[in-house]
Each structure stands twice: as structure tokens, then as C-alpha cells.
Amino acid sequence: MEATEVIHCRGHPRVSASHPTTFEVTREDTLTKNGHCIIGVGADKGCQGLSPEFRQILCHDEAVLTTVLSCGGIITEVHSAGSAAMTLDHQRDLVWRKSTFVCGRTIGIRSDRVAATLPTELVALMRAGRLMVVRMTVRRPG
């Protein structure tokens, strides 16, 4: 089983990408100085806007999520896991986590990248307000 979602967002001058355990994309248009995990604003969907097929595959303990962040020729791949505990019911946010903590904003757990480990070139482009494409592909056996 496999499904793909594509999200478009943009950067913001306050993107710091310094959070050590998560990164986030949000539908919010602004970013405060405390949003250390937020790398993209103005997203065209949050967790709640994901397709039923994508949600069904991701909300399983055997699901594997591959996220590709593309901005200005810089491409970064993030590998995460899904979870049967995911609800994907947040209207605005999508959060990738290093930990196994799950809430309505969680799109991936056990992620191999977080805000603080993203390429500096990508962070610079996001700080400059550039557009970013977030392509998520979820796979599950069966």
C-alpha cells in the first residue's frame, strides 16, 4: 500500500530551524521568535486536510513515511515512522518528531532529521521566504 501527499509552503524571516527534536510546517502565515521548529508557513493543508487514503496507511505501526523537502534546488529526504496512535486531526500543523510522542499534529515519529539537522542551505532559503514543496510518501506492507 502506498499514498503520496504534496504540500506547498513558504519560508519566513524568523525561521531559525534550531529545534533539536522536531520540525514543523504550518498553515499559519506568521512566525513568532519562539517558533524554533517551524520551517514553513502558509502551507496549503494541515494534518486534517490529508487524504483519507494517506491517513489510513500512515496510521499504522508498520507505516514508513518518506518526506522530501525541495526548495531552490536543495532537496532533503527525511525518514519517519507512522503509528496506530496518530489521529491527524490538527487543522493547521504537521509535525515530524525524533521521539515517539503522538498528538493531533504529529505526521511522523522516529524521524531521522529535525529542524536543527536540516541543511543550512535549505534553512537560508526558507529564511529568505522562498517556496518549498513537501512531498510525503507513505508505504505499508500489505
Summarised one tens digit per residue, pLDDT across range 2-54 is 999 999 999 999 999 999 999 999 999 988 888 899 999 999 999 999 999 99
Distance of CA 55 to the CA centre of its chain: 14
Structural domain including 103 reads 2-139
8, 133 Cβ separation under 8 angstroms: yes
Residue with cell 502506498: 2
Structural domain count of the chain: 1
Summarised one tens digit per residue, pLDDT across range 62-109 is 999 999 999 999 999 999 999 999 999 999 999 999 999 999 999 999
CATH of the domain at 12: 2.60.120.630
Coil, strand or helix: which one is 118? coil
Average pLDDT, integer, range 125-133: 97
- Which amino acid, residue 141? P
Residue with cell 529545534: 19
Name the helix (H) or strand (E) containing 94.
strand 93-97
User: How many CA atoms lie within 13 Å of 108's alpha carbon, on the beta-carbon side?
Assistant: 25
At 34 the pLDDT is: 85
The candidate with the shortest Cα–Cα distance to 47, out of 97, 13, 11, 2, is 97
At 106 the pLDDT is: 98
The model scores a pTM over 0.75: yes
At 44 the pLDDT is: 97
35, 113 Cβ separation under 8 angstroms: no
Q: How far is the CA of 55 from the CAs of 35, 44, 46, in angstroms?
A: 26, 17, 12
What stretches of 26-110 show up as alpha helix (H) in DSSP? Answer: 52-58
Rounded to a whole number of angstroms, the CA Rg of the chain reads 14
Q: Take residue 73 and report the three cell numbers written for it.
A: 534546488
